[in-house]
Amino acid sequence: MLRFITAGESHGLGITAILDGMPAGVEVSDEELSFELSRRRKGYGRGKRANIEDDQVMITSGVSDGKTTGAPICVVIPNKDHVNWKGRYVPILAPRPGHADFAGMVKYGFDDCRPVAERASARETAGRVACGYFAKKLLEKEGIKVLSWVVQIGPISAELPPADKRMLSEREAERLFELAEASEVRCPDFAASERMKNLIDEAREKGDTLGGVFEVAVLNAPPGLGSYVQWDRRLDARLAAAVMSIQGIKGLEFGMGFKLSEVPGSKAHDPISIPNRPSNRAGGIEGGMSNGEIIFIRAAMKPIPTLQTPLSSVNVKTKEECRAHAERSDVCAVGSAAVVAESMVALVVADALLEVRGGDRW
Amino acid sequence: MLRFITAGESHGLGITAILDGMPAGVEVSDEELSFELSRRRKGYGRGKRANIEDDQVMITSGVSDGKTTGAPICVVIPNKDHVNWKGRYVPILAPRPGHADFAGMVKYGFDDCRPVAERASARETAGRVACGYFAKKLLEKEGIKVLSWVVQIGPISAELPPADKRMLSEREAERLFELAEASEVRCPDFAASERMKNLIDEAREKGDTLGGVFEVAVLNAPPGLGSYVQWDRRLDARLAAAVMSIQGIKGLEFGMGFKLSEVPGSKAHDPISIPNRPSNRAGGIEGGMSNGEIIFIRAAMKPIPTLQTPLSSVNVKTKEECRAHAERSDVCAVGSAAVVAESMVALVVADALLEVRGGDRW
Amino acid sequence: MLRFITAGESHGLGITAILDGMPAGVEVSDEELSFELSRRRKGYGRGKRANIEDDQVMITSGVSDGKTTGAPICVVIPNKDHVNWKGRYVPILAPRPGHADFAGMVKYGFDDCRPVAERASARETAGRVACGYFAKKLLEKEGIKVLSWVVQIGPISAELPPADKRMLSEREAERLFELAEASEVRCPDFAASERMKNLIDEAREKGDTLGGVFEVAVLNAPPGLGSYVQWDRRLDARLAAAVMSIQGIKGLEFGMGFKLSEVPGSKAHDPISIPNRPSNRAGGIEGGMSNGEIIFIRAAMKPIPTLQTPLSSVNVKTKEECRAHAERSDVCAVGSAAVVAESMVALVVADALLEVRGGDRW
Amino acid sequence: MLRFITAGESHGLGITAILDGMPAGVEVSDEELSFELSRRRKGYGRGKRANIEDDQVMITSGVSDGKTTGAPICVVIPNKDHVNWKGRYVPILAPRPGHADFAGMVKYGFDDCRPVAERASARETAGRVACGYFAKKLLEKEGIKVLSWVVQIGPISAELPPADKRMLSEREAERLFELAEASEVRCPDFAASERMKNLIDEAREKGDTLGGVFEVAVLNAPPGLGSYVQWDRRLDARLAAAVMSIQGIKGLEFGMGFKLSEVPGSKAHDPISIPNRPSNRAGGIEGGMSNGEIIFIRAAMKPIPTLQTPLSSVNVKTKEECRAHAERSDVCAVGSAAVVAESMVALVVADALLEVRGGDRW
């Protein structure tokens, strides 16, 4: 069983993540891990924090001589910015619409929303990406890859090969991924990328924010990961939880997703043939299991809830209407969320693989 | 902790479900439970099985004198049809596209797909609805209701008040639910219902099947269910897993979902105001917690994968191309899936409520 | 992951157990399952219930054509005695010392202890033995056996080869098990068995009850089950929970257990040598893992808490001192508890084995 | 749900522990946490490591302004000794009898036992004690205390009031605890303490080690923690797992434990009377629940497996017989294990309390 847990606040000492259940013998490196973290951090639309965050990640346990040992892996991502916040306490009295602020304050009985904001922050996802790195390395040994790219920012959609094709060809998926990695917004369509960047600039000027849509593809997963036998063992259910748990995600679909609800069965399913199935509308999942095709997930992210031109809110002390709290934040983080989703997907797929293959060493 | 597990095959002795963790003191009745099960069973587009299934459900433990006792609740839904299948074994040699057949056979090492089909069948969801009934009764004591309705079958969409409005008004939600309960396809728009029924008739004639979209609304949930503090405690993640685990679901979204990815933050979030927030685009979830508004989920179901005019497949013994296996099945079960989703959502919300309030007696 | 859950009350319709996570392809039979259940039921000192319980056990799911299918296995053990209790409600107003009666009533808010007594009853363990049967069959395919025998009833101890020897030789363990199976109190020392039976007769005449000590041995478990890497993955921790969860168990030890605390390290540990280690004081567990030797657990059971000559108690309505509730019960059930312990141990070991080897088919 | 996980190796950068599920609003302090950790570290018989370990513990998340925030609490206990080990790799080729060395190497596929020894080390328990501190603070708010003391080291037993009395009186328990805290071996009998220290000196001189027995008492726990309704919810099962998971523990019992197996029911159970029950032979647990009396656990620890005069072993490379690996280690750590057991018990009891009371804020 692969399980992980994160701790840490946005302006605290740092983020800590512990990954338990990794088999022994998987080769890993600090450099690769740092690179993975930088993939999450960067991107057009991310705040200045990105630069501040450029810190030394430390693997403090579970790895010896460049290989996992089977022991829990602890990763610490210190917060360079902490010194600037130490001793300061900036209360959040006007909860931000779209944020955990309000419900969190009520739930835990705080006087203001600061303690909520500190933990609910997406900075926590750095810990997830760290854990995801190890899962990816495990999958890599089986030839399994987890890739992502952005297909939409705000109203601007990338022009890409039709979804059916994106889902069908591993080569196409790898090509899109490579293009995405070269784009500041992680979008494989460079023309669209430019328009997305302009849109982000406009939003920044207005004090507004943007969301978007990204896709995650798992290549080369064997059939039979997950199971139909019990509701909570279904791979799609587990992937859905993992991706939906990322801050800002409001929708997700597998394969053709919502579109499948519009067509008759004769046009919705993927005929079975040898050597290859002609389509992958199901997105690689049938009956709650991987079916040997590309696992394909599309997810929608809402705009960042911290606006520099804030929405209306209510002061929790005075109960008077006011503008919501504003502080330094990103304008758009869809590319980063896609990287986090890669990590979460990798963790779920690796866990399912361990169930099937057994999990001591690799 | 509320947990449940089901057992049973489609043509076996019956479905058994055990629900563990129900508090003591919740009033329940066999009649209400039977009624809940009938809500799942019925519907235009369901096969003849619906009538066969009209059986005696039995609560075999955990309830005494009309009240839960805190002990595990076991529900048995015997299969009247079992006698007709006893001793017969009809192998499935041509896996059905869209079904668990193929991957399941590979995974568990079977010679044909029958053992997969028996357990992967959506008949298993009768057990989930039984468990969901108890969760609903628990929620009812807190004034919390879980309602659902169908908004689309194949290409036909209901004409309903705009989504924002559906999500905002409890009265409107209750009205839609009541209309849905009176419709054979569980759609609150009666004109659309008629067209949907015609479409189902057409599909049946062609040996084809249909999917659709439904919505689930949770009324009166207090703020603070779920938590932002750890990824797997987020209410939306848990709800996503629960709904995605239902056979045939390929997409889901909270509130305005995918549409939120297209608009800027200034138009995506729900301003905070007293006494009421003017919108509920978030679908009642902020920061992975209920926020006091209606929790609103929309889910897409693909068409049933068993077609009377089957898709092409491959015979697992001869490896030759052939038509996929066909057997008695539904043409459309979106209304049933919506009822199952109600149950799954109720179970998740009740579990989250027990975490907050404590779980011995009610 | 092998998990199981039971439901059912002592005088209700029956006991139901669901075992989830069994691999496909394990051969099982109704006859063997019935035999396992009869091993729990019988024994000198058990009440008349033993005969009443001689009922048809039913596997209602998860098995096809004599083999497990990977689907959840549901076992139902109907209660023949139910008809005699139907409609009757015999309240328990005077909680029995040593029983769940008092704390359970307080916890769940009952007016009397009957609902507690119904579920807390050791009859529930029939469900565990049913699940354990399948785990044993899985282990059998790897040559792993789980055996038990009784070494003490009340003050009477069996004269057996010294504990070191019992723990060291598989042949000796099998011999003790066979002798135990032939004894009405499951004790391998026949002379002691006779004295134990006499003691049980005496206790019955006095309206008293008896406890005792039994041992469980796991033969042929490979090294490396469980893990030292995280506290809740240690095999001894998991075995301790499993055995301690059996009604009436108050103590347990691995290998020489408490005696190891009295001797210096030089006499406490088992030297490592090839081909065999000369001793097994550790009881087959080092560092929270199986080490390749016999896993050896000893457990102490307190006397049955229902006495025909009851202890003093307090009437929960009147708050007056009185005699505790008495009803039909066993005088001694140590042999039965040993069989339950075998089952629980088999379930834990099988789960640990699946973690290491992977769990789809066998 | 209160859950915790630890990471870190004996000679690595340090131990990290994350505790998830703590309610908000519990007052905590670095000083108290350091003090708790020092209680584990110290003791006659501990190695020089004790002094080296005297380091700065850091709470890196989950606490703000001296109060828990509901967010995961991360505690880091850096390893001062790390600099001395950095870059050095001292393989362990001769597995130590009684240690995880052998089975761990086989399990994870190492060439030598060093990676096993690093994680299997009891230094990991510092992380548990850190988590236990927070659980204790939570319990403190309900007036619940968890105390421990040592009753035996090697063959030397303390002369204490009889076990019945130790288990019955909260005042007596507090007195014993205070005496234990003043003893270098955590034994409330000072005369015995002196003899124990002499024994430890002797063992050290011989290159030998010692184990012993300790007791843990939980004062003022309300009735109804845990539950009889399902095997894995029983408080005694959960406590047994928690205590047995501590390195070196080989046996445990509740209340009179093994002695209860020797007496008839009429002398084994605790009569119920108002206002107090006259005895507590059950050790505060009936039917898998706390019953309102002192929860009382006794546990046996085997001697430390690292001997300076090593036992015989086999070189894993040459397969030749040799002396087992020796390195700096403790002679006796029973007092430390008792402190760890306090922590584990506190975590289990706090978790059970949260189930009953609900867990957001305190």
Tell me: the pLDDT tens digits for C305-357? 999 999 999 999 999 999 999 998 999 999 999 999 999 999 999 999 999 99
A224 contact residues in C (CB cutoff 8 A): 360
Pairwise CB contact (< 8 Å): C7 & B60 = yes
Whether D55 has a pLDDT exceeding 70, the answer reads: no
Does a structural domain hold residue D26? Answer: yes
| B340: helix, strand or coil | helix
> Per-residue pLDDT tens for D194-236?
999 999 999 999 999 999 999 999 999 999 999 999 999 999 9
Peptide bond into B275 cis (omega under 30): yes
Q: How far is residue B292's CA from residue B283's CA, in Å, rounded to a whole number? A: 10
Q: What integer pLDDT is reported at residue C85 of this predicted model?
A: 78
Whether D51 has a pLDDT exceeding 60, the answer reads: no
Mean predicted confidence (pLDDT) in B127-135 = 98
Tokens found for residue D358: 């609900």
D20 contact residues in B (CB cutoff 8 A): 229-230
Measured in angstroms, the CA of D228 and the nearest CA of chain B are apart by 8
Burial of D159 (0-12, 13-18, 19+ CB in 10 A): exposed
Tokens found for residue B299: 């889910």
CATH code of the domain in which C38 resides: 3.60.150.10
Which of A20, A224, A229 shows the shortest C-beta gap to C71? A229
Other CB atoms within 10 A of residue D211 CB = 28
Residues 6+ positions from C361 with CB-CB distance below 8 Å: B107, B108, B109, C23, C24, C25, C70
Domain of residue A313: give its range: 3-357
Q: What integer pLDDT is reported at residue C360 of this predicted model?
A: 94
Pairwise CB contact (< 8 Å): A360 & D107 = yes
Taking alpha carbons only, the member of D16, D30, D2, D133 closest to residue A127 is D16
Mean predicted confidence (pLDDT) in A312-340 = 96
Residues 6+ positions from A198 with CB-CB distance below 8 Å: none
Residues 6+ positions from A255 with CB-CB distance below 8 Å: A167, A280, A281, A282, A283, A284, A285, A296, B250
Torsion on CA atoms B331, B335, B340, B343, rounded to nearest 10: -170
Which of B1, B224, B358 shows the shortest C-beta gap to D357? B358
Give Cα B121 distance to the centre of its chain: 13
D223 contact residues in C (CB cutoff 8 A): 102-103, 106-107
Residue percentage of chain C with pLDDT more than 90: 91
Does a structural domain hold residue C362? Answer: no
Check: CB of residue D301 under 8 Å from CB of residue D248.
Answer: yes
Residues of chain C with pLDDT under 70: 48-55
| D74: helix, strand or coil | strand
Does a structural domain hold residue C145? Answer: yes
Q: How far is residue A37's CA from residue D86's CA, in Å, rounded to a whole number? A: 26
Average pLDDT of chain B to the nearest whole number: 95
Q: How far is residue C147's CA from residue C315's CA, in Å, rounded to a whole number? A: 43
Pairwise CB contact (< 8 Å): B20 & D230 = yes
Beta bridge partners of B252: A252, B299
Which residue in the block uniquely carries the two structure tokens 């030749």?
A: D320
Peptide bond into A275 cis (omega under 30): yes
Chain D interface with A: residues with Cβ < 8 Å: 3, 5-9, 12-14, 16, 18, 20, 23-25, 58, 60-62, 64-65, 69-74, 76, 89, 107-110, 115, 118-119, 360-361
Q: What integer pLDDT is reported at residue B3 of this predicted model?
A: 97
Q: How far is residue A230's CA from residue C21's CA, in Å, rounded to a whole number? A: 9
> pTM, whole model, 2 decimals?
0.98
Mean predicted confidence (pLDDT) in A40-64 = 83
- B146-180 in b/e form (b: 16+ CB < 10 A) is bbbbbbbbbebbbebeebeebbbbeebbeebbebb
Torsion on CA atoms A195, A200, A203, A205, rounded to nearest 10: -100
Pairwise CB contact (< 8 Å): A8 & D60 = yes
Radius of gyration of chain A (CA): 21
Q: What integer pLDDT is reported at residue B222 of this predicted model?
A: 98
- The chain A residue lying nearest D87, using CA atoms, is A65
Alpha helices in chain C (DSSP H): 30-41, 49-52, 82-85, 101-108, 114-120, 125-140, 163-168, 170-181, 190-206, 235-244, 265-268, 334-357
Q: How far is residue D362's CA from residue D357's CA, in Å, rounded to a whole number? A: 10
Does a structural domain hold residue B144? Answer: yes
Residues 6+ positions from A30 with CB-CB distance below 8 Å: A57, A59
Other CB atoms within 10 A of residue D66 CB = 10
pLDDT category, B53, cuts 50, 70, 90?
Answer: low
Task: Chain B: list its partners (3+ Cβ pairs within 8 Å).
Answer: A, C, D
Pairwise CB contact (< 8 Å): C260 & D311 = no
Does a structural domain hold residue B28? Answer: yes
Check: CB of residue A63 under 8 Å from CB of residue A22.
Answer: no
More confident residue, B42 or B188: B188
Each as own residue / partner, the long-range contacts of residues A50-59 (CB below 8 Å, 24 or more positions apart, any chain) are A52/A80, A52/A81, A53/A77, A53/A79, A53/A80, A53/A81, A53/A123, A53/A126, A54/A80, A55/A79, A55/A80, A57/A30, A57/A33, A57/A130, A58/D13, A59/A28, A59/A30, A59/A33
Torsion on CA atoms C79, C81, C84, C87, rounded to nearest 10: -30
Taking alpha carbons only, the member of A73, A361, A345, A362 closest to residue A225 is A345
| C207: helix, strand or coil | coil
> Per-residue pLDDT tens for B301-324?
999 999 999 999 999 999 999 999
Q: What integer pLDDT is reported at residue C121 of this predicted model?
A: 95
Mutate to test the interface with C, among A227, A232, A354, A362 (most CBs of C within 10 A): A227
Q: What integer pLDDT is reported at residue B362 of this predicted model?
A: 85
Pairwise CB contact (< 8 Å): C263 & D154 = yes
B20 contact residues in D (CB cutoff 8 A): 229-230
Q: How far is residue C256's CA from residue C135's CA, in Å, rounded to a whole number? A: 26
Q: How far is residue D89's CA from residue B245's CA, in Å, rounded to a whole number? A: 48
Q: What integer pLDDT is reported at residue B52 of this predicted model?
A: 57
Check: CB of residue B328 under 8 Å from CB of residue B114.
Answer: no
B150 contact residues in A (CB cutoff 8 A): none
Mean predicted confidence (pLDDT) in B87-103 = 95
Q: How far is residue A47's CA from residue A35's CA, in Å, rounded to a whole number? A: 19
Taking alpha carbons only, the member of B197, B249, B238 closest to residue B350 is B238
Pairwise CB contact (< 8 Å): B61 & C108 = no
> Per-residue pLDDT tens for D233-272?
999 999 999 999 999 999 999 999 999 999 999 999 999 9
B212 contact residues in A (CB cutoff 8 A): 261
Q: Give, in degrees to the nearest 5, the angle at Cα C100 between C97 and C106.
A: 100
Phi, psi (deg, nearest 5) at residue A151: -115, -10
Q: What integer pLDDT is reported at residue D53 of this predicted model?
A: 58
Structural domains of chain D, count: 1
Mean predicted confidence (pLDDT) in D148-153 = 98
Q: How far is residue B184's CA from residue B43's CA, in Å, rounded to a whole number? A: 5
Pairwise CB contact (< 8 Å): C282 & D250 = yes
Pairwise CB contact (< 8 Å): A212 & B261 = yes
> Per-residue pLDDT tens for D83-121?
787 778 899 999 999 999 999 999 999 999 999 999 999
Tokens found for residue A24: 């022994």
Phi, psi (deg, nearest 5) at residue C333: -140, 30
Peptide bond into D264 cis (omega under 30): no
Q: How far is residue B301's CA from residue B335's CA, in Å, rounded to a whole number? A: 10
Q: What integer pLDDT is reported at residue B229 of this predicted model?
A: 98
Q: What integer pLDDT is reported at residue C51 of this predicted model?
A: 54
pLDDT category, A300, cuts 50, 70, 90?
Answer: very high
The DSSP secondary-structure symbol of D122 reads G
Helix (H) or strand (E) holding B154: none
Count residue pairs from B and C with Cβ separation < 8 A: 128
Instruction: Sort strands A212-219 and D67-69 into parallel, antiparallel or unpaired.
Output: unpaired
Mutate to test the interface with D, among C20, C235, C286 (most CBs of D within 10 A): C286
Phi, psi (deg, nearest 5) at residue D34: -60, -40
Q: What integer pLDDT is reported at residue D164 of this predicted model?
A: 86
Taking alpha carbons only, the member of B301, B209, B211, B200 closest to residue B248 is B301
Does a structural domain hold residue A362? Answer: no
Mean predicted confidence (pLDDT) in A189-218 = 98
Does a structural domain hold residue D303? Answer: yes
Q: What integer pLDDT is reported at residue A82 of this predicted model?
A: 80
Helix (H) or strand (E) holding B130: helix B125-140
